[in-house]
Structure formats: C-alpha cells, structure tokens
Amino acid sequence: MTVNRAPLRERPELLKMSHIEKTFRGDVVALKDMNLTVNQGDFISLLGPSGCGKSTALRLVAGLMRPTNGVIEWSGGQGEGDLGVVFQEPTLMPWAKVKDNVWLPYRLRGKSYFEVKDEVLQTLKLVGLERFQNAYPRELSGGMKMRVAIARAMVTKPRLILMDEPFAALDEISRHKLNNDLLALRDAVGCTVIFVTHSVFESVFLSDRIVVMAARPGRVIRELNVEAPYPRTEEFRTSADYAAFAREASDALHQAMEVAV
C-alpha cells in the first residue's frame, strides 16, 4: 500500500483561511485572526482545549456559516461533492438502511441508487460493513455506526473531509481500530482531511500536520509536522519517534492552555 503523496512542503494548495474572525451575538469572539493553509493530501489535526473554536473553524470551512471577517478560498473554486463531513455523533438517518444512508450524498445530487450502487457497496466494503448493507442503524454498535458515517462522507470521493472529534465517544480499542482504518481509507480515497481532536496521541498517530489552537480568542498558536512515513501501523504507536512527537504536541497544547488563562 504505497501512495504517491508529495512531501509535505511540495503539496499544491487546496484551501486557504486568511485572517478569519468569527463573533457570535456581537460579543463572543470565537475566532480572531485565524490563518491556515490546507494543502492537497494533508492530514491536519486541529488540537486545542475545548471552547477554542475548533468546531467553529470546521463549520466555517463547511460553509455552514459565514466568517465575520476574513475569507476562505478554495484554489480552483469549490465544486459539487468536494466536501464530506463526519460529526461527533454518527448522525445517521435511523429510518434508512445502512446502504441508503451511504447513498444520501449522491441521492441529494439526483443520482438513483442503481447508478451509484457500485460506489456505495465498494465504500461499505472499505469500512468493513458490506455484510450490514441492509441493516438499520439501531442494529449496529457505536463503532459500526461511525464507520457508516465515514463511508457516507467518503462515498463521493470528496477532495476534503472534515471530522469533528468523531471518535471521542468511543472506547479506546474501537478508537485505535478506527484510527488504523481511517488512515487506510484515506489512502484508498486519496482525500485531504481536517480532523478535530483534543487527544494528543490521536493527533500524532493520524496526522502529518498538527495545528494547535488557543482559546479566548480562538487562534492558531503553533504548527508542527509529524514527519513519520505512512502507512503507520501499531508499531508506530510504540516507537520512540511517536513518543517524541507526542511530547512536542503535548507541550504545545499546554502552552496553548497557559496562553488562554
């Protein structure tokens, strides 16, 4: 499983957030002067204490709200199906079978199930839930529901996937498994990921760029690169490199929390 991913510094730009400011109700400053360039093929973790505006940043990128100031620019413009999202909750439609949940992004673009059946089933296979295509969400475990949500986000092969603490509610074992699978999926689909987390270890294991944010006002205070090759396996979790990166990220996070106080 070798993937042609350009070295970190040579990737073409995908999206740029410049001088983003977001104020709620006129006085709650969620983000102030946030700058972030996302390049194609990046796996970026947004790491920061809760309330520092991570979710707000994702919602701005997703176009669910407008920044008070500043601009978000997609190089080459944003096209249909360029974006996939995974929330903290699986957010499946309980009345729809697994395969129909995964079909949703296509369905809303007017594609019949028949037209996209192959993509749907193939994506379900990638997340290991092919056998459950006809199950209803309530028949699945929390981890399996999250896999369906990931399949739904990836089925259209979007250029960018936004994930807001998707594994925070899962137990450690499921989370490790999903971490591994997420990396494999990302390679299969070849998309860019922005992943919000407050777990230092998760961010180091998954990403090649960690963006540390501080609160009040929310902004980027530190960026560090995790220059360890993919595919990353369980061995990476126990390696000295991993420990060193984790220490670095952890220090940055502490610094972010001190700045905030």
Ligand X SMILES: Nc1ncnc2c1ncn2[C@@H]1O[C@H](COP(=O)(O)OP(=O)(O)O)[C@@H](O)[C@H]1O
Give the integer Cα–Cα distance in Å for 76 and 42: 17
38 strand-pairing partners: 15
Structure tokens at 189: 């689909």
Minimum Å gap between C-beta 218 and ligand X is 6
Q: How far is CA 180 from the centre of its chain?
A: 14
Task: Give the contact letters, 69-108, x = binds to another protein (CB under 8 A), - = no.
Answer: -----------x--x-x-x-x-x-xxxx-------xx-xx
Of 210-239, binders to Mg ion (CB under 5 A) are: none
Give the integer Cα–Cα distance in Å for 127 and 182: 9
Minimum Å gap between C-beta 28 and ligand X is 5
Interface residues toward ligand X, by CB under 6 A: 24-25, 28, 30, 48, 50-56, 218
Among 49, 137, 143, 218, binds another protein (CB under 8 A): 137
Task: Give the contact letters, 30-59, x = binds to Mg ion (CB under 5 A), - = no.
Answer: -------------------------x----
Structure tokens at 237: 């979790």
Of 52-71, binders to another protein (CB under 8 A) are: 59, 62-64
Structure tokens at 45: 């973790």
Minimum Å gap between C-beta 125 and Mg ion is 31
**50 vs 238, which CB is nearer to ligand X?**
50
Residue 144 contact partner, candidates Mg ion, ligand X, another protein, none, CB within 5 to 8 A by sort of partner: none
Residues contacting another protein: total by CB under 8 A:
22
Are 60 and 67 a contacting pair, CB within 8 Å? yes
* Number of Cα atoms under 13 Å in the Cβ half of residue 129: 30
Give the integer Cα–Cα distance in Å for 144 and 131: 12
**163 vs 183, which CB is nearer to ligand X?**
163
Give the integer Cα–Cα distance in Å for 25 and 45: 28
Give the integer Cα–Cα distance in Å for 201 and 8: 20
Minimum Å gap between C-beta 141 and ligand X is 26
Minimum Å gap between C-beta 119 and another protein is 15
**191 vs 256, which CB is nearer to another protein?**
191
Minimum Å gap between C-beta 58 and Mg ion is 8
Residue 30 contact partner, candidates Mg ion, another protein, ligand X, none, CB within 5 to 8 A by sort of partner: ligand X
109 makes contact with another protein (CB under 8 A): yes
Minimal CA–CA distance to 163: which of 179, 184, 140, 141?
179
**Neighbouring residues of 249: CB distance < 8 A, sequence distance ≥ 6:** 47, 200, 203, 204, 210, 212, 224
Give the integer Cα–Cα distance in Å for 45 and 57: 12
Are 12 and 75 a contacting pair, CB within 8 Å? yes
Point out which residues bind another protein (CB under 8 A): 59, 62-64, 80, 83, 85, 87, 89, 91, 93-96, 104-105, 107-109, 136-138
Point out which residues bind Mg ion (CB under 5 A): 55
